[in-house]
Structure 1
Amino acid sequence: MSGAPVRVLLADDQPLVRAGLRVLMADTPGLEVVGEAGTGAEAVRLAGEVRPDVVVMDIRMPGMDGIEATRHITEGTTGAHVLVLTTFDDDAYVYGALRAGASGFLVKDMALDDILAAVRVVAAGDALIAPGVTRRLIGAFAARPEARPGSAARTRALPGVTDREREVMTLVGRGLSNAEIAAELFISVATVKAHVARLFAKLDARDRVHLVILAYDAGLVAPG
């Protein structure tokens, strides 16, 4: 974005929460709040009007909830990434948000600096999930019958994926950002992004979170 601030839309039915985030982001260089919504339907409408880079989305809102609003936004043409920020880290909400296309899932008791950093991570096209939620997500995936060794062996070959792309996919599966992968492999961030884009296309991965799951399924990364 060549120095342009990250444009943020806040969607939460609690005015005090929106006000707190707005003040916090106003004091943070590189972030700009371009709109506020108190309902899911309003978030969808404003996303189309103000074209934010990131929508910080609550889940429990009157009428259309945050998960349905996330689905509408990610399936639309705004190009906005959705970062779910909620009080509730119930597994049903986590899976629902990720299936709807959310790029991140955080809980409101996280440190404010971590929430601000997450907005930038999601704006850059990476995915980020609260550490405790990630552990449960991977644990649940590892317990699925289709995630056991026999299935991993069947998919381990990853036809069409180059050795370098396998390296990148492995590091994505370990949770590294594009910048961290670039440093690990001594390549540019732009090159990492190109590899990730090709992996999306070759593996029909919806987003970076989906790519993480595919890395586990292929045996490139082991739970724990």
Structure 2
Amino acid sequence: MATTPEGRPLRLLIADDHTLFREGIVEILTAAGGLEVVGTAGDGEEACRKAAELRPDIVVLDVEMPGQEVRETLPRLAHACPKSRVVVLTMHDDVVLAREMLALGASAYLVKGSTRHELLSALHSVVVDREPGHVILSVTQRGFDRVSQASADALSAREREVLGLTAEALSNAQIARRLSIAEGTVKRHLRNIYRKLGAVSRLDAVNKAVAASLIPAPHQRDAR
């Protein structure tokens, strides 16, 4: 049974844009005992708003949801409810993304292929083990191996520019204006980038390029 050190049930907020998956997680957690799901959210903004209102012990957060980007959601959650722990639960088996999420304040990073036991253990551990720097990471060896594979087909200088601006969360139209090119050209560059990196989304492409040192990490770029 997962409870707080004081013995009361852990209060959780579940944030995931897929209704069926979100409902399944709620059922699993409710059946476990010692857990109370106090709210759900379908995007990052709603997660931040409900976290500020409900003050959960833990926010279970999906990485890719509509609207607000996860790199904005994590700092906003920390500001809205600094005592809440964030457990990232995602389909991305990606060590680079995992490290970034932990650096932004998440206490745990679990792939959605994790078992029920691993999820419940993580939820208990992030509350009981409160030492600074205590994190939980669940990434398969395949996720580690992808880090070296991304550099197999290097990006062109223009593709790196496009991907660097993508990493800053700019839209295709904004990237086109910044580089003085057509929006259709931006889309073509992104298709080429996805093909070269074996990426399935903008976030996936950025993470693989950062892992292969093809572009700087977003936080490094901001620090310059």
Fold similarity call, TM over 0.5: yes
TM-score, L = length of structure 2? 0.57
Verify the 8 A CA contact 2:14 2:61 in the aligned structure 1.
Answer: yes
CA distance in 2, matches of 1:14, 1:77: 24
State the Cα deviation string for residues 45-84 of structure 1 (Å, max 9, x = none).
Answer: 1110000001000000001133321121124444101000
CA distance in 1, matches of 2:81, 2:12: 16
**Alignment CA distance shift 1:77-1:115 (3 Å):** closer
Verify the 8 A CA contact 2:108 2:137 in the aligned structure 1.
Answer: yes
Q: How many residues are treated as equivalent by the alignment? A: 139
Q: Does 1:127 align with 2:135?
A: yes
Verify the 8 A CA contact 1:47 1:78 in the aligned structure 2.
Answer: no
Q: Which runs of 5+ in 2 are unaligned?
A: 149-224
Verify the 8 A CA contact 1:74 1:100 in the aligned structure 2.
Answer: no
SS in 1 for 2:140: helix
Match of 1:66 among 66, 70, 75: 70
Which stretch has the larger CA shift, 86-95 or 52-61?
Answer: 86-95
1:33 corresponds to: 37
TM-score, L = length of structure 1? 0.57
CA distance in 2, matches of 1:77, 1:18: 21
Match of 1:5 among 2, 6, 9: 9
CA distance in 2, matches of 1:26, 1:77: 23
State the Cα deviation string for residues 128-158 of structure 1 (Å, max 9, x = none).
Answer: 111537x949x99xxxxxxxxxxxxxxxxxx
Verify the 8 A CA contact 1:83 1:119 in the aligned structure 2.
Answer: yes
- Which amino acid counterpart does residue 119 of structure 1 have in structure 2? L
CA distance in 1, matches of 2:70, 2:93: 13
Q: CA RMSD in A?
A: 2.4
Counterparts of 1:134-149 in structure 2, within 5 Å, are: 136=144
CA distance in 2, matches of 1:12, 1:78: 21
Q: Does 1:56 align with 2:64?
A: no
Instruction: State percent identity of aligned pairs.
Output: 36
Verify the 8 A CA contact 1:7 1:34 in the aligned structure 2.
Answer: yes
Q: Does 1:105 align with 2:109?
A: yes
State the Cα deviation string for residues 26-52 of structure 1 (Å, max 9, x = none).
Answer: 111111101100000100111100000
Q: Does 1:20 align with 2:28?
A: no
Match of 1:42 among 22, 36, 46: 46
Counterparts of 1:53-202 in structure 2, within 5 Å, are: 53-124=57-128, 125=130, 126-130=134-138, 132=140, 136=144
**Alignment CA distance shift 1:67-1:120 (3 Å):** farther
